[in-house]
Amino acid sequence: MDGNRDGSSVAASRDERVEITVLTTVVVLSVFLLIGLLAFVVKSIGRVPTGHVGLVYRTFGRRHPDDRFRVRVHGSPGPQAAILEADHIYFLPFLIYKVTYAPQTYVPPGTIGVVRAKEGATPQDRPLCRHVECDQFQDGHKFLTNGGQAGKQPAILRGGASYDINPWIFDVITVDNIGEGRYGLTAEDLREITVPEGETGVVIALDGNPPGEEGGVVGRRVPGHQSFEYPWKFLANGGQRGAQAETLSHGGLYAINPWFARIVLIPTRNLTLEWTRKEDKPRSNFDAALDKIVINVEGHRLSSRMSQIIRIPAKAAPQLVGLFGEHESDAFGVSGASDPTPVQRFVEGVLGRTVEGYFHSTAADYRVLDFLGNHNEVRLELEGRVRDDLAEWDVEAVRTTLGEFEPEGTDIDRFRQKIQQERDRQHYLEHREKNVQMEAKIEEVLIAIERNRGKVATAELEDEIRLLGVDHVAFARFLDRLAEMDVPEFVGSDSSAQNMPLPAALNLINKYLAGPGREPGATSPRELDPARGSRSDHQLSPQPADDDSATATTERVSRVRGTMRSTVDGEAYSADPENGQTPKINRVRGTGKSHQPENDDA
């Protein structure tokens, strides 16, 4: 019995040891399993560091038939389109997924970032790919599933922000990573565009429909693109390639994709262009191609300096750029915005040829001295030609300045003296012409005055004749002349001639008035007023008249002389037509003054 009891005890002890061993093993295994599970969990949990994104790579699994890109969108093994955002805590079995971290994409302020997709559908044969909304390239899954194309993207990333972008899908070019240049761009092309005061920005679209014939070299305006910042809307609305009619005004800030458009800055301020020695000018000058003016007039070489101020309005800039600034087809963005080439080509091809053509044609129309002496006339003609030619381009010609022409290899002083002599002679002739014209005007005024006086005298005489009659007026005029004439000191006659008939006296007086060398009966200038005409001797003799006419004549004679008696050569003559008396002469010695006889019967 004791033996059986001992055997049972040994068996029980053995079972206890087995149970303990099994329990211990289970516990140990559980601990190891727990430790392994904790380790698995720990290794599968992660947090994306600040300023980074998490890139997920699946190591194994079943391949989805729709995953046709290298970056997977349906969970197939390989790089995953989805990313882990910064500061995000995630759990991904480390045995299935590998997570790596990449810096966020940062675009510095004042710049832009352009995007080139590494994955996507095959692009069309165009400069830019089709635009797909994908939260500024932060949703690679959406980009690939919605038909995003590999290549240059039309949208850009604005400066001053960070973006969670999958670098396996997108290559973002910024000023921080562009280096010496990538994809045809430089760091300057990634700057935001500012248009300085006094300039306008002409946009040259590098993508779009071909320009229509109706618009020429300038693309028509299209809506919705927000100053060319949304290229996809520009393209969707039928935008055309080339220089655009819509320009960028000064004072604005523009973020334009340099792969979509090139910007050229055209000055709208006044530009002073000078025709001086080309060798002395920097190549960047707008007038670098303009040389000193030299022309040949009658075999004489004449040279001069010239300056022209022009202004290019904003509306004229697109056409100018379209014809003179699109030869740099490989240029992008604003790296060449300040290139003076378009304006230089315009100045040389339009303005320079206008001036050169004018002087070549004008030189054949002038003699050398006339050309040198008519400097102002030449300048005005040139100014008009330049103004008309520039107006065809909507460019304003503000002022033309032309220096004096200097003969080359000639005695300048001799030329100047000839020119000055011609000018002095011209001034003298002009002054003389003015004097002759003034004298002619004065003569015309005097003639008009005399004519008016004659008209007045004629009118007065006609009135007098109408009132008194022709004979009485003529006789009164004779007495007026007789009163004004110089009376001779002596008029002699023989002693037998006591009485002289009135006709004889009148004949004697007329002989005296005629003067030496004049025929008797000729009318003296002192005899009658020229306006009244001349009269013969018998017309001056008194004629019978009716009582009223005689009374009027008597009163007229009395007013002039106070009496009808005169003394001529010392003889007193009297006539009384009213009484029918015959004129009598009384000899009087003296000075020829009027004499009144002592009585009427004498």
- Residue 566 pLDDT level (bands cut at 50, 70, 90): very low
Task: Evaluate if residue 597 carries a pLDDT over 50.
Answer: no
Q: Can you read off the two tokens belonging to residue 364?
A: 């054949």
Distance from chain centroid for Cα 328:
29
Task: Evaluate if residue 602 carries a pLDDT over 50.
Answer: no
Q: Can you read off the two tokens belonging to residue 595?
A: 């004499």
Contacts of 186 (CB under 8 A, 6+ apart): 178, 180, 333, 335
Q: At what angle do helices 470-484 and 412-468 cross, to 10 degrees?
A: 120
% pLDDT > 90, the chain: 39
CB 400 within 8 A of CB 383: yes
- Residue 332 pLDDT level (bands cut at 50, 70, 90): low
Percent composition of the chain: helix, strand, coil (DSSP 3-state, to 5)? 40, 20, 40
User: Whole-prediction pTM value?
Assistant: 0.61
Contacts of 322 (CB under 8 A, 6+ apart): 216, 217, 218, 242, 243
State residue 462's pLDDT score. Answer: 83
State residue 456's pLDDT score. Answer: 82
Instruction: Look at 233 and 468; give whichever has higher pLDDT.
Output: 233
State residue 542's pLDDT score. Answer: 40
CA distances from 510 to 526, 538, 540 (A): 11, 11, 10
Question: Strands 193-194 and 253-254: what pairing?
Answer: antiparallel
Task: Evaluate if residue 82 carries a pLDDT over 80.
Answer: yes
Task: Evaluate if residue 528 carries a pLDDT over 60.
Answer: no
CA distances from 322 to 188, 234, 269, 342, 395 (A): 23, 19, 20, 9, 15
State residue 416's pLDDT score. Answer: 64
Instruction: Look at 279 and 5; give whichever has higher pLDDT.
Output: 279
Task: Evaluate if residue 305 carries a pLDDT over 80.
Answer: yes
- 440: number of CA atoms within 13 Å, CB side? 6
CA gap 169, 173 in Å, rounded: 13
Q: Can you tell me the mean pLDDT for 402-420?
A: 71
State residue 596's pLDDT score. Answer: 40
Instruction: Look at 450 and 413; give whichever has higher pLDDT.
Output: 450
Task: Evaluate if residue 467 carries a pLDDT over 50.
Answer: yes
State residue 29's pLDDT score. Answer: 78
Q: Can you tell me the mean pLDDT for 195-211?
A: 91
Residue type, 62: R
Q: Can you tell me the mean pLDDT for 287-298?
A: 87
CA gap 481, 512 in Å, rounded: 13
Read off the pLDDT of residues 133-191 as tens digits, 9 standing for 90 and up: 999 999 999 999 999 999 999 999 999 999 999 999 999 999 999 999 999 899 999 99
Lowest mean pLDDT among 18-27, 229-238, 407-416, 577-586: 577-586
Instruction: Look at 194 and 580; give whichever has higher pLDDT.
Output: 194
Instruction: Look at 479 and 281; give whichever has higher pLDDT.
Output: 281
Task: Evaluate if residue 304 carries a pLDDT over 80.
Answer: yes
Question: Residues for the chain: how many in total?
Answer: 602
State residue 296's pLDDT score. Answer: 82
CA distances from 254 to 88, 115, 263 (A): 34, 18, 11
Q: At what angle do helices 375-391 and 353-363 cross, to 10 degrees?
A: 140
Instruction: Look at 124 and 419; give whichever has higher pLDDT.
Output: 124
Lowest mean pLDDT among 61-65, 111-115, 308-312, 472-476: 472-476
- Which DSSP letter does residue 206 get? S
Lowest mean pLDDT among 190-199, 410-419, 540-549: 540-549
Alpha helices (runs of H) in 271-374, residue ranges in sequence order: 317-324, 341-346, 353-363, 368-373
Task: Evaluate if residue 360 carries a pLDDT over 90.
Answer: no
Beta bridge partners of 200: 266
Which of 41-55, 84-98, 342-356 has the highest mean predicted lDDT (pLDDT)?
342-356
State residue 503's pLDDT score. Answer: 66
CA gap 303, 401 in Å, rounded: 14
3-class DSSP state of 281: coil
Lowest mean pLDDT among 94-108, 257-271, 408-422, 586-600: 586-600
CB 90 within 8 A of CB 81: no
- Residue 235 pLDDT level (bands cut at 50, 70, 90): very high
Query: In 3D, which of 407, 305, 295 has the Cα closest to residue 356?
Result: 295
3-class DSSP state of 356: helix
3-state DSSP of 85-132: CCCCEEECCCCCEEEEEEECEEECCCEEEEEEECCCECCCCCCCCCCC
Q: Can you tell me the mean pLDDT for 31-37?
A: 78
CA gap 488, 403 in Å, rounded: 81
Task: Evaluate if residue 531 carries a pLDDT over 60.
Answer: no
Residue type, 40: F
Beta bridge partners of 162: 106
CA gap 140, 165 in Å, rounded: 8
% pLDDT > 70, the chain: 73
State residue 107's pLDDT score. Answer: 97
Read off the pLDDT of residues 436-454 as tens digits, 9 standing for 90 and up: 999 899 988 888 888 888 8
Task: Evaluate if residue 16 carries a pLDDT over 90.
Answer: no
- Residue 599 pLDDT level (bands cut at 50, 70, 90): very low
Beta bridge partners of 105: 163
Lowest mean pLDDT among 365-374, 376-385, 437-446, 531-540: 531-540
Q: Can you tell me the mean pLDDT for 331-341?
A: 64
Contacts of 216 (CB under 8 A, 6+ apart): 319, 322
Task: Evaluate if residue 193 carries a pLDDT over 50.
Answer: yes
Q: Can you tell me the mean pLDDT for 510-524?
A: 51
Residue type, 171: D
Output the DSSP codes for 364-422: TTS-HHHHHHTHHHHHHHHHHHHHHHHHTTT-EEEEEEEPPPEESSS-HHHHHHHHHHH
State residue 259's pLDDT score. Answer: 94
Contacts of 495 (CB under 8 A, 6+ apart): none
CB 249 within 8 A of CB 202: no
CA distances from 312 to 302, 319, 500 (A): 31, 11, 107
CA distances from 59 to 30, 53, 78, 92, 136 (A): 28, 19, 6, 12, 29
Read off the pLDDT of residues 99-122 as tens digits, 9 standing for 90 and up: 999 999 999 999 999 999 999 998
Instruction: Look at 498 and 398; give whichever has higher pLDDT.
Output: 398
| Residue 241: CB atoms within 10 Å | 17
State residue 377's pLDDT score. Answer: 87
Task: Evaluate if residue 464 carries a pLDDT over 50.
Answer: yes
Lowest mean pLDDT among 187-196, 271-280, 589-598: 589-598
CA gap 277, 292 in Å, rounded: 5
- Residue 129 pLDDT level (bands cut at 50, 70, 90): very high
State residue 499's pLDDT score. Answer: 57
Q: Is 107 left (phi over 0), alpha (psi -120 to 50) or beta?
A: beta
CB 449 within 8 A of CB 441: no
Q: Can you read off the two tokens belonging to residue 55?
A: 């890139």
The label of the residue with tokens 């004439």 reads 485
Beta bridge partners of 47: 89
Task: Evaluate if residue 511 carries a pLDDT over 90.
Answer: no
